[in-house]
């Protein structure tokens, strides 16, 4: 599951060259590679996990997606992302996940990481594309147990489940304005009828408050309902953004 890790650059001089290479590349809104989300997760027994998802344009069957990252120890490392599945038309979703803990010497560079900076490299058809957050690199820092940042999407499903007679889940949204609404549009009968539920603010999702975690709970789901399909809307600053799982909607089953 984990990509091969190797040292890329060490020393301040080489770090400056690496950052400059990133800064030379800027992207349009439909760039060939874009971060979806990234998470830094801290748990007991010294467990630290760094994971995320990436959107790439499907320009060829043969491609490589690599995450370049530094935990602030003066060294840059890389780990390979893996294909997860199709995304919107002409795009694919890739993911990466690395971790360490006090009983496991894998990725020891993560053990004391307070902040991870990273960028994404996409190699395809002899070309190399970068998503480096417009030359600034991405950054995710420790915040409570879990810290999450969003790249391309403004709203993203976090989790969902049906527990007894309750349908519940979580949503991440970019903090684009103070006043905002997050709604769940769902069906229990395969879209013959639809209902709406409001999500409510839970807490900031990271240390700089750029992303918020929202949660929703729908009670009194009939015992006969075995499956719920849904999509998420996020309204802020007069605009509405959707996460409908690339047009497929989300499905949660008992």
DSSP code of 24? T
pLDDT at 90: 94
40, 49 contact by CB (below 8 A): yes
- Quickly count: other Cβ atoms within 10 Å of residue 73's Cβ: 13
236, 216 contact by CB (below 8 A): no
Q: Which two tokens stand for residue 95?
A: 């993911």
Residue 206: pLDDT band (50, 70, 90) is: very high
Global model pTM greater than 0.75: yes
Residue 45 CA to residue 172 CA, distance in Å, equals: 27
Positive or negative: CA dihedral 70, 76, 82, 86? positive
pLDDT at 105: 87
Residue 66 CA to residue 71 CA, distance in Å, equals: 16
Residue 94 CA to residue 36 CA, distance in Å, equals: 9
Q: Residue range 80-108: average pLDDT?
A: 94
Residue 130 has pLDDT above 50, yes or no: yes
Residue 16 has pLDDT above 70, yes or no: no
228, 221 contact by CB (below 8 A): yes
Residue 89: what are its φ and ψ, rounded to 5°? -50, 125
Residue 124 has pLDDT above 90, yes or no: yes
- Quickly count: other Cβ atoms within 10 Å of residue 56's Cβ: 24
Residue 59 CA to residue 122 CA, distance in Å, equals: 11
pLDDT at 17: 29
The pLDDT tens digits for 50-75 are 999 999 999 999 999 999 999 999 99
**pLDDT above 70 as % of the chain:** 89
What number of CA atoms fall less than 13 Å from residue 134's CA on the CB side?
4
Which stretches within 2-98 are classed as H helix?
12-23
The pLDDT tens digits for 146-155 are 999 999 999 9
Residue 11: pLDDT band (50, 70, 90) is: very low
């Amino acid at each position: 599951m984990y990509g091969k890790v190797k040292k890329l650059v060490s020393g301040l001089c080489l770090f400056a060259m690496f950052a400059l290479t990133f800064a030379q590349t800027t992207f349009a809104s439909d760039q060939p590679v874009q971060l979806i989300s990234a998470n830094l997760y801290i748990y007991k027994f010294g467990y630290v996990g760094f994971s995320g998802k990436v959107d790439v344009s499907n320009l060829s069957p043969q491609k490589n997606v690599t995450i370049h990252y530094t935990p602030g120890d003066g060294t840059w490392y890389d780990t390979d992302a893996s294909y997860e599945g199709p995304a919107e038309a002409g795009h694919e979703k890739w993911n990466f996940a690395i971790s360490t803990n006090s009983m496991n010497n894998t990725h020891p560079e993560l053990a004391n990481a307070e902040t991870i900076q990273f960028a994404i490299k996409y190699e395809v058809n002899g070309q190399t594309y970068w998503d480096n957050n417009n030359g600034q690199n991405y950054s995710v820092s420790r915040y409570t147990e879990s810290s999450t940042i969003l790249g391309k999407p403004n709203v993203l499903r976090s989790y969902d489940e049906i527990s007894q007679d309750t349908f519940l889940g979580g949503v991440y949204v970019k903090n684009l304005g103070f006043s905002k609404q997050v709604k769940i549009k769902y069906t229990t009968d395969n879209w013959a009828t639809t209902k709406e539920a409001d999500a409510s603010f839970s807490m900031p999702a990271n240390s700089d408050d750029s992303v918020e975690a929202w949660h929703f709970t729908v009670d009194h789901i009939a015992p006969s309902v075995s499956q719920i399909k849904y999509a998420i809307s996020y309204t802020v600053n007069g605009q509405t953004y959707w996460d409908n799982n690339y047009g497929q909607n989300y499905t949660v089953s008992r």
